[in-house]
Amino acid sequence: MEYLEIEKNRSRKTVENYDHYLDRFLDWAGIAEPGDITDSLVRSFRVYLSRLEGGNEKALKKITQGYYVIALRSFLKYLAKMDIKSLPAEKIEIGKNAGKEVEFLEAGEVDRILAAADGPDFKSLRDRAMLELLFSAGLRVSELTNINREKLDLANREFSVRGKGDKVRVVFVSDGAATALRRYLEKRTDIDPALFVRDEKSLARFAGKSREKKPDGLRLTPRSVQRIVKYYAAKAGIIKDVHPHTLRHSFATDLLMNGADIRSVQAMLGHASITTTQVYTHVTNRQLKEVHQAFHARRRKKS
């Protein structure tokens, strides 16, 4: 874990996840030495993960099962680097996951969700600004909740966020998001650094108190943002299961449908690999359908 944190510069969350995955493997395996990790042991563990269900356990998604294998391979690579004899990492193959279909919102659905948060009160202004920024910048929910007011540059309509793997990228603010953010920030009378904070009652309760005396500050949590997004989706009459990440998907889809190249979208989303961005091929598929309808069998139609 220290190697991941220091030499590999992995984020705290990644280190925590790897710790969990490897602990579970070692608890299940009941082995005492690295040399006890064999090909057959790993295969048995993968079968165990695949069939895990019943009692207090719930079935693991294929992608989650893959995370366990990735963590184990990383551990074996570390052992090899330290000249500790164990199973070679290349002996373990990562199973191929089925293609994932991305859920996104149509332009009209996004407009309806944004309109549902319209209002002059503090909560409506905060929520409208939050929804506008999620869609405008394609943010992950953790990136949104970690933004501080001082980082926001509405004059230049851009600012930097720290994403997965502690990678920093620049994101951009649309006209609508900038207007919504200005209206919301005009209502802020507190000195808390967080961009998105809890309601006015919480602001009043903590007014004048030092940050040390606040249990967790005023910053909204990712779970709170998830509830807020689902609330406005329901209020707007959207029957899809809408999450903050749905707005991120909608951001990427909107860019591609309007002609953005996939490499630019990759950079704006902060994806390390273009493969991750290629889940948005449903956009290409839709465009291909339009080409097919426009050009297929045109000579037959003329005759």
Q: Catalytic residues, which ones?
A: 140, 164, 245, 248, 271, 280
**Secondary structure of residue 155 in the 3-state scheme:** coil
Q: Residues 167, 272: contact at Cβ < 8 Å?
A: yes
Report the distance separating Cα 25 and Cα 45, nearest Å. 7
What is the token pair recorded at 138? 């394609």
Strands 158-162 and 168-172: antiparallel
Q: Residues 18, 4: contact at Cβ < 8 Å?
A: yes
Residues ≥6 apart with Cβ < 8 Å to 81: none
What's the Rg (C-alpha) of the chain? 24
Q: Which residue has the tokens 């080409």?
A: 291
What is the token pair recorded at 292? 């097919």
162 forms beta bridges with: 168
Residues ≥6 apart with Cβ < 8 Å to 96: none
Residues ≥6 apart with Cβ < 8 Å to 225: 130, 141, 144, 145, 196, 244
